[in-house]
Amino acid sequence: MSDARPAAVIVLAAGEGTRMKSKTPKVLHRIGGDTLLGHALRAAKGADAASTVVVIRHQRERVAAFIDERNAEANAPVLVADQDEVKGTGRAAECGLSALPADLTGTVVVTMGDVPLLTAETVSELTARHEHAGAAVTVITSVLENPKSYGRVIRDADGDVERIVEVKDATESERAVREINSGIYAFDAAVLRRELANVGTDNAQGEKYLTDVLALARAAGGRVSAHVLDDLWQTEGVNDRAQLADLGRELNARTCRRHMQAGVTIVDPATTWIDVDVSIGADTTILPGTQLLGATSIGEDAVIGPEVTLTDCEVGDGASIKRAEAHLAVIGAGATVGPYSYLRPGTELGAKGKIGGFVETKNARIGEGAKVPHLTYCGDAVIGEGANIGAGTIFANYDGVTKGRTNVGRHSFVGSNSVLVAPVDIADGAYVAAGSAITSAVDPGQIAIARGQQRNVDGWVDRRRAGTATADAAHAAAQTARADRSADQTGPASTPSPNTPS
Ligand code: UD1
Ligand code: CA
C-alpha cells in the first residue's frame, strides 16, 4: 500500500512568518542541519514525488536562491511558483498548480514549508490511503487536547468529513471540536484544479481558503476522508523561535533514537546534537556534549566525546576523539585526538596517528602512526608516517605575505619547542634538536641543531643578585659540595645519593 507515489507535492511557503521577528525568511531557519523548507523538500523527495513545487512570495529572492542552490546538487529539480497578491492557502495552492502541466492527473499532496518533522513515510502513506479509498481529498488530522487556532474538522452524522472551518469563522460548538486540520492533504489533481476555481474569499480573513476545497469536492459528489495521525510532532509548524527550538529538540531526539536503534551508544541524547545527514557506524559510543554536524561520517567502534564538535568530518573505525573541535578534517582508523585540539580544514590524520592536547592543525597531512602530541601549531605541512613532533613545536607557515609548506619525513623526530620556518624540508629519518629554529633543509640521518651554544658564567648570581634567596641557595649548595669533597678525601666512603648516575 505504501508504494503509491504522488504526481506532485506542492509546498506552501509564501507566508510572512512575522512571529519569528527575523531578517531571515521563516522557512530558511535551520534545525538538524537543514532549513525548515529543506526538511519539507526531503519529505517530498523521499516520497518519490514526480514533481515538487514550492510556492513563495515573502522574501522570494532569498527563498528562490535557496531552492536554486539545492537544485544545483539534485537531479530532480524543484519548481518555484510565485503567489500573487491574492491571499490565502487556496490561492497559494492554485499558484502551485499553475507551475505544473495543465493536464496533470493523479494525486497532488499539499504540505507546508514550515512543518519540518513530516516524514516521507507519512506522505507515502497518505498518498496510498487516498488512492486506495478512491477519495477526492484526504486530509491529515489530529485530535488535540488544546486545538488552539487550527481549523476544525467537521464530520457528518456518519463520521465522514464534511468540511473544515477556520476558528475565526467557527461557531462556539464548532470551536469545541478537538479534531484539527494539519494543513497537509492529498487531492485528486482534477478535483483540486476544478474546485479551487470555485473558492471565494467571503470569510473572516478575506482570503482564499484551501480548506474550502473539501466541502466543494464533497458537494460535487467526491469522497473526503481523513487520515488521523497520532504522531502530533509530524504536523507541528514553526511560528516563533520557541517552537523552532522545540521542533529542533524533537528532531534531534528522533535522530538519536534512529542511531541507537542501529547500534550506536549515545550516553546522553539530551546533550548530543546530530544533524540529519550524519552517519555513524555500529558500536560507536557518543559521550555527552557532542555535536556531529553537516556531512560528518563516523566509522564503527569509535569513541567520540565528551565535548566534541565535528563539522563535515570523516572519522575512521576505532578512532577516539575527546574535547575537540574539527571542521573538514579526516581522522584515520584507530587515531586519537584531544583533549583540547582544534582541527581546521584540510587536516588529515593517518591511521593510529595522534593529535594531542592544545594542538591546532590546518591543511596538514599527518602520516600513519605519526604523533603531534602537545602544544603545537601545525599548518600547511606533510608529516611522514611514524614521525614525532615534540611539545611546543610551531610550524611557522606564514611570513606575513605568503604561506609556505613544511615537510617532515618518515620516522623523523622534531625536538620540543622548535620552530620550523616554511618552506623547509626535514628528510626521512632525521632529527631536529630541541629548541631549534630550522630554516634550511635537514638531510636523512642528520641532526640539525639551530640554537645558541650554552655558555655558563661562574659567580654571576653572587655578583648580580647578592643577598637574594637565590644567592643564599647557591652558597648553601657550594658549601655542601665542598663538605662532600673533603669527606671523600678524609672519611670512609660515603653512600652515593640515589640521584647520582653510576
Ligand atoms: C491553515 C489552515 C488551517 C490549518 C492550519 C494548519 C487554511 C485556510 N487554514 O491555517 O485549517 O489548521 O493551516 O497549520 O488553509 N501560505 C501561503 N500563502 C498564503 C497563506 C499561507 O503560502 O497566502 C502558507 C504559509 O507559508 C504556511 C501555510 O501556507 O506555510 C499555512 O499558512 P498559515 O497562515 O500558517 O495557516 P493558517 O491559514 O492559519
Ligand atoms: Ca492565515
Asked if residue 131 and residue 72 are part of one domain, the reply reads yes
* Domain's final residue, options 405, 422, 448: 448
In a domain, 196, yes or no: yes
Q: Distance from the CA of 310 to the center of ligand 1, in angstroms? A: 37
Output the CA torsion sign for 163, 166, 168, 174: positive
Known binding residue 217? Answer is no
Which three-class secondary structure state does DSSP give residue 449? coil
Ligand 1, residue 209: give the atom nearest the CA. Answer: 8
By CB atoms closer than 10 A (0-12, 13-18, 19+), residue 246 is: middle
Question: Which residue is closest in CA terms to ligand 1's atom 3?
Answer: 151
Asked if residue 354 and residue 221 are part of one domain, the reply reads no
How confident is residue 153, by pLDDT bands cut at 50, 70 and 90? Answer: very high
Known binding residue 181? Answer is yes
Ligand 1, residue 112: give the atom nearest the CA. Answer: 30
In a domain, 495, yes or no: no
Cα separation, 227 vs 237, in Å, equals: 18
Please name the amino acid found at residue 493. A
Query: Quick check: 32 pLDDT over 60?
Result: yes
Nearest-ligand number for the alpha carbon of 91 = 1
Known binding residue 15? Answer is yes
* DSSP code for 158: T
Q: Distance from the CA of 470 to the center of ligand 2, in angstroms? A: 81
How confident is residue 87, by pLDDT bands cut at 50, 70 and 90? Answer: very high
Cα separation, 242 vs 124, in Å, equals: 30
Query: Quick check: 366 pLDDT over 90?
Result: yes
Residue with cell 466541502: 215
In a domain, 50, yes or no: yes
Query: Quick check: 288 pLDDT over 90?
Result: yes
Asked if residue 268 and residue 210 are part of one domain, the reply reads no
How confident is residue 347, by pLDDT bands cut at 50, 70 and 90? Answer: very high
Sequence-distant (≥ 6) Cβ neighbours of residue 165 within 8 angstroms: 151, 152, 154, 174, 211
Known binding residue 416? Answer is yes
Q: Distance from the CA of 156 to the center of ligand 2, in angstroms? A: 26
Q: Distance from the CA of 145 to the center of ligand 2, in angstroms? A: 22
Cα separation, 398 vs 380, in Å, equals: 9
Asked if residue 317 and residue 200 are part of one domain, the reply reads no
Condensed to tens digits (0 to 9), the pLDDT of residues 94-103 reads 999 999 999 9
Ligand 1 cavity residues, CB under 6 Å: 12-15, 55, 83, 87-89, 91-92, 112-114, 150-151, 164, 166, 180-183, 209-211, 237
Asked if residue 224 and residue 118 are part of one domain, the reply reads yes
Q: Which domain holds residue 116?
A: 8-235
Asked if residue 417 and residue 275 are part of one domain, the reply reads yes
Of 207, 212, 203, the residue nearest 164 (C-alpha): 212
Cα distances (Å, whole numbers) of residue 21 to 25, 29, 32, 239, 242? 10, 12, 21, 10, 12
Nearest-ligand number for the alpha carbon of 114 = 1
Give Cα 296 distance to the centre of its chain: 7
Please name the amino acid found at residue 224. V
Arithmetic mean of pLDDT, 439-447 = 98
Query: Quick check: 283 pLDDT over 80?
Result: yes
Known binding residue 344? Answer is yes
Are 345 and 328 contacting, i.e. CB atoms less than 8 angstroms apart? Answer: yes
How confident is residue 76, by pLDDT bands cut at 50, 70 and 90? Answer: confident
* Domain's final residue, options 430, 448, 466: 448
Q: What is the pTM of this model?
A: 0.93
Are 333 and 350 contacting, i.e. CB atoms less than 8 angstroms apart? Answer: no
Sequence-distant (≥ 6) Cβ neighbours of residue 434 within 8 angstroms: 390, 415, 416, 417, 418
Residues annotated as part of the active site = 374
Higher pLDDT among residues 402 and 75, named by residue: 402
Higher pLDDT among residues 158 and 317, named by residue: 317
Cα separation, 69 vs 51, in Å, equals: 17
Cα separation, 321 vs 313, in Å, equals: 12
Nearest-ligand number for the alpha carbon of 16 = 1
**Which CATH number do you get for residue 152?**
3.90.550.10
Cα separation, 419 vs 305, in Å, equals: 31
> Is-cis flag, bond preceding 306, omega within 30?
yes
Residue with cell 583540547: 340
Arithmetic mean of pLDDT, 41-60 = 97
Are 329 and 308 contacting, i.e. CB atoms less than 8 angstroms apart? Answer: no
Asked if residue 194 and residue 294 are part of one domain, the reply reads no
Asked if residue 392 and residue 303 are part of one domain, the reply reads yes
Asked if residue 189 and residue 44 are part of one domain, the reply reads yes
In a domain, 105, yes or no: yes
What was the pLDDT predicted at 2? 55
Q: Distance from the CA of 366 to the center of ligand 1, in angstroms? A: 54
Query: Quick check: 263 pLDDT over 80?
Result: yes
**Which CATH number do you get for residue 354?**
2.160.10.10
CB-CB neighbours of 435 under 10 Å = 16
Asked if residue 302 and residue 213 are part of one domain, the reply reads no
Cα separation, 107 vs 190, in Å, equals: 9
Sequence-distant (≥ 6) Cβ neighbours of residue 500 within 8 angstroms: none
Cα separation, 328 vs 310, in Å, equals: 8
Ligand 1, residue 166: give the atom nearest the CA. Answer: 11
* Domain's final residue, options 190, 218, 235: 235
Are 326 and 343 contacting, i.e. CB atoms less than 8 angstroms apart? Answer: yes
In a domain, 91, yes or no: yes
Pocket residue to mutate for ligand 1, from 82, 85, 89, 207, most atoms within 8 A of Cβ: 89
How confident is residue 489, by pLDDT bands cut at 50, 70 and 90? Answer: confident
What was the pLDDT predicted at 359? 98
**End-to-end Cα separation, the chain, in angstroms:** 86
Sequence-distant (≥ 6) Cβ neighbours of residue 361 within 8 angstroms: 329, 341, 342, 343, 344, 347, 349, 355, 372, 377, 378, 379
Query: Quick check: 495 pLDDT over 60?
Result: no
Question: Which residue is closest in CA terms to ligand 1's atom 39?
Answer: 150
How confident is residue 488, by pLDDT bands cut at 50, 70 and 90? Answer: confident
Mean pLDDT of the chain: 96
Number of independent structural domains in the chain: 2
What was the pLDDT predicted at 493? 54
> Is-cis flag, bond preceding 444, omega within 30?
no
Nearest-ligand number for the alpha carbon of 89 = 1
In a domain, 456, yes or no: no
Q: Distance from the CA of 159 to the center of ligand 2, in angstroms? A: 27
Cα separation, 481 vs 502, in Å, equals: 18
Known binding residue 398? Answer is yes
In a domain, 210, yes or no: yes
Cα separation, 219 vs 199, in Å, equals: 13
Query: Quick check: 492 pLDDT over 50?
Result: yes
Condensed to tens digits (0 to 9), the pLDDT of residues 460-480 reads 999 999 999 999 999 999 999
In a domain, 173, yes or no: yes
Query: Quick check: 56 pLDDT over 50?
Result: yes
Asked if residue 321 and residue 218 are part of one domain, the reply reads no
The DSSP string of 68-121 is: HHHHHH-SSPPEEEE--S--SHHHHHHHHHHTS-TT--SEEEEEETT-TT--HH
Asked if residue 361 and residue 273 are part of one domain, the reply reads yes
